[in-house]
Every structure is written in structure tokens, then in C-alpha cells.
Structure 1
Amino acid sequence: MPVHVIRLGGNNINQPEIIQSLLVILKEIEQEHLLVISASEDIQQVLVSGLELICASSQTYSGLLNQLREEAQKVAQSNQLQSLPVFEQNLLPLERLLQGIQYTGDYSLALRDQVLSYAEIITTALLQDILNHHNQETSLLYPQDLGLVVSAEYGNASILRSPSIENIRNRNWDRITLIPGSFGRTSEGKIARVGERAADYTAAALASILEVDQLELWEISKSFKTADDEIIPHSAYIENLTYAEASELAYFHHSSIHPRIVEPLIEQHIPIQVFELSEGKKILKTTINSTQKQGSQNIKSVAHSDDIAILKLNGPGVGFKPGILSIVTTAFAQHQINIRSVITAQTSINIIINRNDIAKAEKIRQQLDLSSVNQIEFVSNISLIAIVGHGMQTNHGISAQLFSAVAKHAINVLLSGSGASDLVSYLIVDDADKHKAIQEIHKIFFNI
């Protein structure tokens, strides 16, 4: 029988209605199902912040463990559980790691990845506790025991398909196997993460290795819609997307999937199906294919991201002076600061980064020798808005429609960009103008 590969959102462990639907679905299945679990956002945040506090001597390892137990108790209460044996069992090796970090006051990138992998491990352990409570038999398989081999690029590793194939294809699967996503083991035997909350990338790699008919995503936190439904309550589900469109929307945090999800699927053209779980059924909402459907609408969605800031390097000759951008980008890469985009002019270099990297970027910037730069500033409290869909360069007037939507309502555009890709045009506005801009852009392209 064919194996089914599913990525299940870890935030659902606190959603009893979704858990009840999951239990009904799992009870009825016959084929082997691999459920790759993403981290609970709350658990991951506790681990990320706690790790830094321990190194700064602002928190003890026992205090961090207590915080994790508090998060686990919330899950227990919402699911009416009296005990969490699988969770407690998986907390023991994490405790030893945290003890060592507190003793030394520091950690390597490899050790950081090993600690943060417990965001997925703990989430998966809690899900197994829930399923065990309901007499649903499952097995928990860690990626390193699965034989998932990754590169030694800590924090942003790549899954190495060829070394992983023999380990994974020759395995006998249980009916339901739970796999914590987002990490694997390097050839040297160390844990390396493939990204933040990147369980879908792991699931896609497994789907490719096992040559499944489709990869299924169950209950992602944000569905694919024509706009954020908190801003446009009547936004519609997008029935069909291409790989490229889905990746672009993920980049803008429009949907809670990892942008690298399509990488392992491209060669085999494996489709992705996105399901919501309700009343004991899985309901198909979006299908993601490798190619564009003929006659489909060009603009698929109005996406946005608030998690951005601009580093502006100003000076009369910054666009002429060689090496300035190289110095900054090299330093940022060494400190794991992601550069989301760069827009340049002769008098200014604008580097778009994640908003929570501002403090780190400022510290690094002070250590750099940037000749020809006479003014440096950070701009935050801004939003990145994009229209996404194939045909930006072949359909005349799309950019004009985009800018007319904001111009009519006196919305100031701080930066704009198009042409780098055939499927996205974007602009940056003040946070205060975000809602109005999205509403007017959505109205023009979707007539609602």
C-alpha cells in the first residue's frame, strides 16, 4: 500500500475541536501515514528566548524547564489529560543540554540547533500523549533515527536526498508514525535545523524520497486566501496555485508554510494539497501544482508582512563606490541576518531585513568601515504589501492599477519594486496605512 506523507501544524495541540477531527480521521485510515509535526509557536518562543536568557545569566535552566511544563499543562488542560509521560520523557535529554549551557554560559551553532530541535520534539511528544489518551496507537520517530541526512549549515541546513534515500525507503512503517520536523543529522552525526518551523520542507523531502502521489498539509495556521482575512473578512480561498506562487506567498508570511517546501518536489512534479479538518473530515481548500493552469486569474492574492525594517545607507557616492553592499551582506550572513531585498540608487542603498534583527544589525554595522556612507538610519513601523500571481511582466497595466489604488487615497509609498520576478510587485507603506492600502488594492483586483 502507498505511504501517505502529511505535515500537521503543531499549534493544533491546543485546539480540541481539531484534535477530535484528527482522531476520527486517524481511526478510519488503513494505509501507513507519516505525520510530520511542526513546532507549537508558544513552545518554540519559550525555547528561543529562554536560551538567550540562560546565556545572559537572566534565567536558570530549571526556570526554562518550568516554563515548558507550564505550556504543556495548557495542552493537558485543553485536552483533559491527567499526565504527560511522553512529554516528560523527552524533557530529560533537553535538561542535560541546558545544564551544560548554563555552566559554560555559551553555545555553538550546532548546540543551539540541538536545543531548538526540542520545539518540534516536545510538540510531537505532547501530540502522542493526546493520541495515547484516546487509545490511538502511534510511534514517534526522530529524524536522526529515521536517517534524514542534512548539510552542516546550522540554522538553515539543506536536506541531502541521496544519502537519505536508502535509510528511508527500506524502512517498515507503522500505521501512524509521528515525526518531529525541521531538523536532521549531519554526516558528522550532529543535529542541524533546516529552518525555523520548517517541518513542511522535511515533509516534502520525505514525499519525494518515498515518491508519493501528493504531499498533504493538514491545518496550517494561515490558509491561502486572496488576502489576510483579519483585514479582508470576505477574502476567498485560492483554489489553485503554482509552486512559485505558493513560495512567494510563504515569503510574505501570507501562509504558514516554509518557502523551501517546493524544492524537493519540483523534479517529480508532486502536487501539494492543503486541507482543513472539521467534523471528522478533511476538506480540500487549495491545490499547489508545478505549472500554471491555462486561463487562471493572474493576480492570486494581496499579501503583506509587518516583520520588516529598512537599513538605509546614504551618501552622495554610495551607488558608485564598489564593495559597500558586499561588506554589509557578508557581515550579515556571518551573523545569520536574512536580507529580504535590496533596492539601490546612486545616493542610497536600502536593505530590507526582518524587524527583530534591527538591534543585531545595528551592532554589526558599528563595526564596519563603510566609506562614502555619511548617514545611516533604520526605518521600522512599516509594512510590505505585495500582489502575487504570474504575468506581472506580460500583462500591461498591472503596476498602474496597483499604484492607482493607493494614490487615490493619498497613501504614501516609501519604496516599491517589480521586475525581479514575473509573479510579484510590492510596495512599502507606513504601518498606519497598511489596512487601507490592502483594502483598496484587493478591491481593484478582486472587485470586492
Structure 2
Amino acid sequence: MGQIVVKFGGSNLKSPADIERSARVAAAYKEPLVVVVSAFSGVTDMLIQGIDEAMLSEHAPDILCSKLETIHESALRLHIQSEAEIGAVMEVLKQRLAQLKKLLMGIHYISAVPDFTRDHIISTGERLSAPIIAAVLRKAGLQAREILPETMGLLTDGTFGNAAADLAVCAERLSSIVTSDITPVVPGFYGITKEGKIAVFGRGGSDYTAAVIARSIQAESLDLWKDVDGFLSGDPRIIQDSKTIPYVSYEEAAELSYFGAKVLHPRTVEPLEQDHIPIRVMNVDQFDGTIRPYTIVGPDREHSCTLKSVAATENMGIIRLEGPGVGSRPGILARATTGLDAAGINISSVITSQTSINLLFHKKDMPRALAVLRSESVPSVVSVESLEDIAIIAVVGDGLRHRPGLAAQVFGSLAEGGINILLTQAGASPVAMYIIVSKEDTAKALKAIHRTIHRG
């Protein structure tokens, strides 16, 4: 019987009562499990805010650690009656909170936050939730035991803030956690550098942790328990008749996750695609005692020749470099991006024409990127302008690759709705096309394109 990796996210842990429900879910499996957990809902945000407050006040670390101890002890006592068990778990939590306090006091006194210190601090929430969830799983009858990423040797590339796992090394090291004797409970969100420091995988990175473990142990599946009905054909907050998509390919899931769908961390599919390990997306709010996936993510097993979904993000901006022939002259793009690379600013995408180069950035990087590009002396570039009130619409489905005329239907639906298209990009992914519109047109564009999806 194959092992299954089960991941419970912060959306499953909004209140102390949610922990017991997650334990019931885990107990319903017949297969041996590895359980990956996120921090309790809101805790990571508290830690991020705590960094800012610690820079200003030497009392802030005490206040934060006291709040966190109260939150986690209350959750523990709600579910565990044995004082011996409570005492053992609280001893672990207090040690970790003491370490957190030292780190926060350190940044207060040096008035700086080194990258590795920040990663250690913001990953504390997972190390606080895991011992509690392990205790509740033991109460539910599982032989659960916390195993830390640093103990199992979950190695990363050492990029603080947005690390990637070393999949080859992880496959060697993590296979040792496969045992029928225990149910490992692993804090998600982070791994370690070769020097032993903590490096996080970015917000939502517990999905990625679970995927790395699933690949390393060649799991039967990765089961993600969320508070949504899997992947939907559109954002239900905007599109009332959106429908659950029973099956999406790895490519389709990656595109939807990157451009707005909050179901998966965008890189979750990376470790799993080569070995064809399926991702099963469940809704914990709909759990009735049976393990029932709403969406399965797997290989491109069939050509549906349709559009699957439309998603949007408003967290991007464009910087446009304009000048005669800038899109065709060799070396201009390289010259323009040298300073960005030196500043550690990521370019999300590039769209070029004969007279302009359009660079897409996350909004948080826009001010720095604009300053860098305006300070560069790039030949032939006569103006550097920014566009920030935009939305990127991702239209996803293998029909774009296999069905002639489908893209034309999408553009036609936008024209019928009176929606102006600022930029488009197609071909970078065979299963997705990207349409950039004014932010004020986001909802109209999503509805118009969804009608095309609904018509099939």
C-alpha cells in the first residue's frame, strides 16, 4: 500500500476546533500518511508584523511571544486532557518561543534584519503548530510524531525568502521517513541551507514542502486539504456560476496558480510532474467521513480541446521601454536587465515589439525597478514609463493548443463587452494566453471570457 502525503493549510486551522476536524480527516485514511502542516491562521502575519515592531520597541518580542504562547496553549488544552502530554508539548513550544524572542531582541539591538534571521522568524508558526497537531493525531489513534525539516535534511538552494528544494538530495535523505510505524508530522514552508540555516519557500510554501516530500518518498498521491472545492472555472466572488474542474493537467494548474487561483502554491507541481504523482484537492469544509477529491491534478492524459478556467491578478505592473527599433536591436534587453539582476529584482515576463520592450514585475518591485531602469543608460531607449493600474487575465486550457479559433472567441467576447486590450501574450505556455486590461475592467473581462468557457 502506497504512502500518501496529506497537507493541512492555515485555512484548515482558523480556529482551535478546526484542529480536531483535521485529525478526523487524517484518521479516515486507510493508507500510511505523512502529514505536512502550516502555521495556524494569522500567525505568520503576526510574525511578520512582529519583526517591524521589534525594530521599534524592546518590549515587542515579549508581547508577541506571550500572545503566541496563549494562542497555542489554548488550542492544545482544548483537545488534550492529559497534563503529562500538555506539559511535554508546552516544553517544546516554550523552547521555540524562547528562540524566537532571542532573534527578535537581536534585530532590535542591531537595527537590521538579516535574510536568514527573517526566514527563521517567519517560519516559527509551523514549528509551533506541528507539535500540537501531532498530539491531537495521537489522541485520534495515529502514531504521530513531529519530524522537523532540519532533522530530515530537507535541503534548499540557499535562496532566503524564496528557496527551492534540492530534489536529488531530498530524494536520498527523505526516504528514511517512510515507515509503517509512525505518522510523521512535518512543519511546512521551509527547508535548510547547506550551512544548516532555515530558508523559506515563500508564502504558501507548505504546499511545496508537501510536494517535495511526496516526490522524495514516491508517494501514491499528494492530498491538499483546502477550504475550496478544488480548481474552479472562475473566481466565485465575481462569477456566480463558476464550476469545479474535475481534472487539470500539471501545466494548467501551474498557470492558474501563478495567475490568481489560490488553490496551490505556484511551484507545487514542479517536483511531481516528472514522476506523474497526482495532486488531489479536497475541501475540508465538505468532509463527511470519506476521502473525495474535488479536483485531480495530473498528466495531460486527454485533449479536452476546451478552455478550463480564467483567472486574474492585479498584483503586477508594467514598465515600458520605448524607442526606435528597441525590440530588434541585439543587446538592448540584456543591457536593460543587468541592473535589475544586480538589484535582485525578478522580471515576471517580457513582451516586446519593434518600438517597445514591456517588462512585467510584481507591484512590490515596481518602484525599485523603475528607479533602476531610469538610472540605466540604455541605447535607443527614449522613455521609461510605468503602467500600474492593470490586471493580467490568464486564460487556461489545452484547447488553446488543439482547437483552432478558440483564442479568437476569447478576443471576440472582450470586444463584445467593450473591453480594451492593452497587451497580449501567447505561446510562452501552450495551455495559456495572457491578456492585460485596465484594472477597472477586470470583473467585466473575467465574466466575458467565462461565458466563452461556459459555451465550450
Q: What is the TM-score normalised by the length of structure 2?
A: 0.86
* Residues 61 and 95 in structure 1, CA contact (< 8 A), matched pair in contact too: no
Unpaired runs of 5+ residues, structure 1, are none
Could you tell me which amino acid in structure 2 is paired with residue 397 of structure 1?
G
Distance 1:404 1:232, change over 3 A: same
Whether 1:285 aligns to 2:294 is yes
Deviations along 1:136-159, one digit per CA (max 9) or x if unpaired, are: 774222101112122223333332
**Distance (whole Å) between structure 2 residues aligned to residue 369 and residue 115 of structure 1:** 40
Distance 1:166 1:392, change over 3 A: closer
2:63 to 62, 66, 72: 66
**Distance (whole Å) between structure 1 residues aligned to residue 41 and residue 35 of structure 2:** 18
1:213 to 210, 220, 225: 220
Q: Which residue of structure 2 aligns with residue 150 of structure 1?
A: 156
Per the alignment, in what secondary structure is the counterpart of residue 261 of structure 1?
Answer: coil
**Distance (whole Å) between structure 2 residues aligned to residue 342 and residue 49 of structure 1:** 33
Whether 1:120 aligns to 2:94 is no
Per the alignment, in what secondary structure is the counterpart of residue 106 of structure 1?
Answer: coil
**Farther off after superposition, 308-317 or 282-291:** 308-317
Q: Any residues of structure 2 matched to 1:289-308 within 5 Å, and which? A: 289-294=298-303, 296-308=304-316
Count of paired positions: 444
**Farther off after superposition, 251-260 or 356-365:** 356-365
Q: Any residues of structure 2 matched to 1:326-405 within 5 Å, and which? A: 326-405=334-413
Whether 1:165 aligns to 2:171 is yes
**Farther off after superposition, 432-441 or 138-147:** 138-147
* Residues 152 and 192 in structure 1, CA contact (< 8 A), matched pair in contact too: yes
> How far off its partner does 1:314 sit?
2.3
* Residues 24 and 140 in structure 2, CA contact (< 8 A), matched pair in contact too: no
**Distance (whole Å) between structure 1 residues aligned to residue 343 and residue 132 of structure 2:** 33
> How far off its partner does 1:223 sit?
3.0
Could you tell me which amino acid in structure 1 is paired with residue 444 of structure 2?
K
Moved over 6 A (4+): 74-80, 132-137
Distance 1:72 1:283, change over 3 A: farther
> How far off its partner does 1:187 sit?
2.2
Distance 1:12 1:60, change over 3 A: farther
Q: Any residues of structure 2 matched to 1:21-32 within 5 Å, and which? A: 21-29=21-29, 31-32=31-32
**Distance (whole Å) between structure 2 residues aligned to residue 392 and residue 70 of structure 1:** 51
Q: Which residue of structure 1 aligns with residue 82 of structure 2?
A: none
Q: Which residue of structure 2 aligns with residue 176 of structure 1?
A: 183
Q: Which residue of structure 2 aligns with residue 252 of structure 1?
A: 259
**Distance (whole Å) between structure 2 residues aligned to residue 136 and residue 266 of structure 1:** 30
Q: Which residue of structure 1 aligns with residue 146 of structure 2?
A: 140
* Residues 421 and 436 in structure 2, CA contact (< 8 A), matched pair in contact too: yes
Q: Which residue of structure 2 aligns with residue 105 of structure 1?
A: 111
Whether 1:432 aligns to 2:429 is no
Q: Any residues of structure 2 matched to 1:26-65 within 5 Å, and which? A: 26-29=26-29, 31-39=31-39, 42-52=42-52, 54=54, 57=55, 59-60=56-57, 62-63=59-60
**Distance (whole Å) between structure 2 residues aligned to residue 287 and residue 7 of structure 1:** 15
> How far off its partner does 1:227 sit?
0.4
> How far off its partner does 1:135 sit?
8.8
> How far off its partner does 1:269 sit?
1.2
* Residues 317 and 361 in structure 2, CA contact (< 8 A), matched pair in contact too: yes
> How far off its partner does 1:113 sit?
2.5
* Residues 13 and 41 in structure 2, CA contact (< 8 A), matched pair in contact too: no
Could you tell me which amino acid in structure 2 is paired with residue 386 of structure 1?
A
RMSD of Structure 2 on Structure 1 (CA): 3.1
Q: Which residue of structure 1 aligns with residue 98 of structure 2?
A: 92
> How far off its partner does 1:367 sit?
4.2
Deviations along 1:328-373, one digit per CA (max 9) or x if unpaired, are: 4343344443322111123222111111222332343454333433
* Residues 374 and 384 in structure 2, CA contact (< 8 A), matched pair in contact too: no
**Farther off after superposition, 191-200 or 26-35:** 26-35
Q: In percent, how many aligned pairs have the same letter?
A: 32
Whether 1:14 aligns to 2:14 is yes
Q: Which residue of structure 2 aligns with residue 228 of structure 1?
A: 235
**Distance (whole Å) between structure 2 residues aligned to residue 64 and residue 297 of structure 1:** 55
**Distance (whole Å) between structure 2 residues aligned to residue 156 and residue 318 of structure 1:** 32
* Residues 43 and 119 in structure 1, CA contact (< 8 A), matched pair in contact too: yes
**Farther off after superposition, 119-128 or 270-279:** 119-128
Per the alignment, in what secondary structure is the counterpart of residue 413 of structure 1?
Answer: coil
Q: What is the TM-score normalised by the length of structure 1?
A: 0.87
Distance 1:144 1:397, change over 3 A: same
